[in-house]
Structure 1
Amino acid sequence: MAKSVHSQLLKILQQEDINFLLTNRIPRRLATRWMGWFSRIESPALARAAIAVWRLFADLDLTESKKTSFGSLRDCFTRELRAGARPLDGDPSILVSPCDGIVGASGTVRGTELFQAKGFPYRLEDLLIDPELVETYRDGTYVTLRLTSSMYHRFHAPHDATVERVTYVSGDTWNVNPIALKRVERLFCRNERAVLRLRLAAGGHPVALVPVAAILVASIRLHFLDVVMNMNYRGAADIACATRVRRGDELGWFEHGSTIIVFAPRGFRLCDGIADGTKIRMGQRLMVLP
């Protein structure tokens, strides 16, 4: 009986109109602030209860987690994995995935136009802001990686590189699931996001990672900066860096789940098998270097 009720509830929540209404037509910023507060409450008992409810609506697998118990819900969201849980592809000609995710729109940037979903284009100018950066990735290659709430939320360096600059862009907190991407134009350009500029050790190629926040998850933590970028952030919007990282080094995390868009200039190409709906894990093959 309980399984039947649960199944019916999931079917209702998966209906596009209801899902969009429940996850977008609410006070998004208020809901995000509340979740940020709630997820930080230090109480193992409360965390266990919240995780049990979470498991009713998501396929949460904690078998790879480094920890078996959590002091808060945030502690679970930002969990580390056991050593060896994400083996890295060692081919130096390959750019690996920086995170676990589901591949969304991907392919070649047409001039400065690309897609968030079929029929919903947006422009590099609106996402990246900086005209120089727009020219860098004109006619380049991109791939959108969506992290669901139950996935591993930390992201890593896709290759040996130097992080040269981080740009923070404040914005909204629309849901970034496929239902919203088919309804809200230029969604990624509306949301809170950061632009991480990397210079690969191999060939000096520039690569950009754009973590995009979403409802309940407008918080991005970067290890090499002593700040948390979220709706309360009032620091510098453009931060120069000179941080060397190795392939697979942890760069930071999202606090709940969201999206990372990876950009590479002309000459890069997507690896075989990278297509809409493909599940990928951090460290697996993503792009081939020129």
Structure 2
Amino acid sequence: MTFNVLLQYMLPHRALSRVVYWATRWTFKPWKDFLIGTVVRNYQVNMAEAAQPDPLAYQHFNAFFTRKLRADARRADADPGILLSPADGKISQMGKIVDGRIFQAKGQDYTAAELLGDEASAAPYRNGRFATIYLSPRDYHRVHMPLSGTLRETVHVPGRIFSVAPFAVEAIPRVFARNERLVCHFDGEHGPFVVVMVGAVLVSSVATVWDGLVIPPYASSIGRKSFTGQNITLERFAEMARFNMGSTVILLFPDGTAELDALPSQQSVRVGERLGLLPRS
């Protein structure tokens, strides 16, 4: 076990995340300008795409990190039969769910039931399809709808807050099923689908367009919230949530409701680009 991996087990995850949550919202100009400037330089952030291209014009670091893009910076594939990428980032893994198990990395997998918080919710995805997208600090951190859907339920699953960088995904067993996360269940034209917002060390804050800030607070037990009958329908490509800092998005689809392209691990993707095909009506 490398030192970086060992450190993941030793860190006080939630305490550090609370400190970072506060620090990234501090409006003290020298502090926020230092943080923003450091990330822009070190990660070569493309500010020309931002609605506000001046990185130092943001109120605090989190406002910069969750920045809105220009209206023409991302376009959805015009074919409504195309499944869209929900985020900018890199493909961690994608493919078939085999007998309820989802591939994480070489030698590592986890179950859909672990990820979603219960066996019944996972049943439709037993032999379905999945896509896991990792967002780095340089990426756009708003998450969009891969296809149109009506929100049925969200499930806040408590857990650790390990890193989800590639080194951790390869070394920490079941990391996505162990981290704090928000599971969003939708009903689409061809059946149900799930968008999972996975938290990570220092970057474990999640907000949605329907509920605002959801994480923190951190959970001590599974929390469910039903939206049945509220008619919260989000169109394909619409913004649905954001990471206040970054992390990972996981999509799940039942068998027969989506065919994913064979994109390799570490392939870069952007919001609105093709991930696969939906059934033709």
1:193-222 CA-partner distances (Å, limit 9, x unpaired): 01111111x33x211111100001111101
Give 1:132's aligned amino acid: A
Contact 1:44/1:70 (CA < 8 Å) preserved in 2? no
1:237 maps onto 2:223 in alignment? yes
- Partners of 2:105 and 2:211 in 1: how far apart? 32
Name the Cα RMSD after superposition.
Answer: 2.0
- Partners of 1:139 and 1:74 in 2: how far apart? 38
- Partners of 1:260 and 1:226 in 2: how far apart? 18
Alignment of 1:35-114 (within 5 A): 35-67=20-52, 68=54, 69-114=57-102
Give 1:27's aligned amino acid: P
Structure 1 residues 53, 227: closer, same or farther in 2, change over 3 A?
Answer: closer
1:194 maps onto 2:179 in alignment? no
1:118-143 CA-partner distances (Å, limit 9, x unpaired): 11011112111232221110100001
Q: Please, which moves more after superposition, 47-56 or 188-197?
A: 47-56
Give 1:59's aligned amino acid: Q
1:164 maps onto 2:152 in alignment? yes
1:29-75 CA-partner distances (Å, limit 9, x unpaired): 22111110100112333221112222454232222111122110111
3-state DSSP class of the match of 2:184?
A: strand
Q: Please, which moves more after superposition, 18-27 or 94-103?
A: 18-27
Aligned to 2:131: 143
- Structure 1's unaligned 5+ residue stretches are 1-15
Q: Please, which moves more after superposition, 279-288 or 39-48?
A: 39-48
- Partners of 2:222 and 2:157 in 1: how far apart? 10
1:56-107 CA-partner distances (Å, limit 9, x unpaired): 5423222211112211011111111011111001212111111111001211
1:174 maps onto 2:162 in alignment? yes
Aligned to 2:259: 269
Give 1:105's aligned amino acid: Q
- Partners of 2:244 and 2:212 in 1: how far apart? 16
Contact 2:157/2:221 (CA < 8 Å) preserved in 1? no
- Structure 2's unaligned 5+ residue stretches are none
Contact 2:157/2:219 (CA < 8 Å) preserved in 1? no
Cα deviation, residue 265, structure 1: 0.8
Q: How many residues align?
A: 272
Give 1:243's aligned amino acid: I
- Partners of 1:280 and 1:240 in 2: how far apart? 31
Aligned to 2:275: 286
3-state DSSP class of the match of 1:133?
A: helix
Cα deviation, residue 234, structure 1: 7.8
Give 2:124's aligned amino acid: T
Cα deviation, residue 26, structure 1: 2.6
Q: Please, which moves more after superposition, 126-135 or 103-112?
A: 126-135
Contact 2:17/2:202 (CA < 8 Å) preserved in 1? yes
- Partners of 1:269 and 1:139 in 2: how far apart? 12
Runs of 4+ in 1 over 6 A off after TM superposition: none
Query: TM-score scaled to structure 1, two decimals?
Result: 0.88
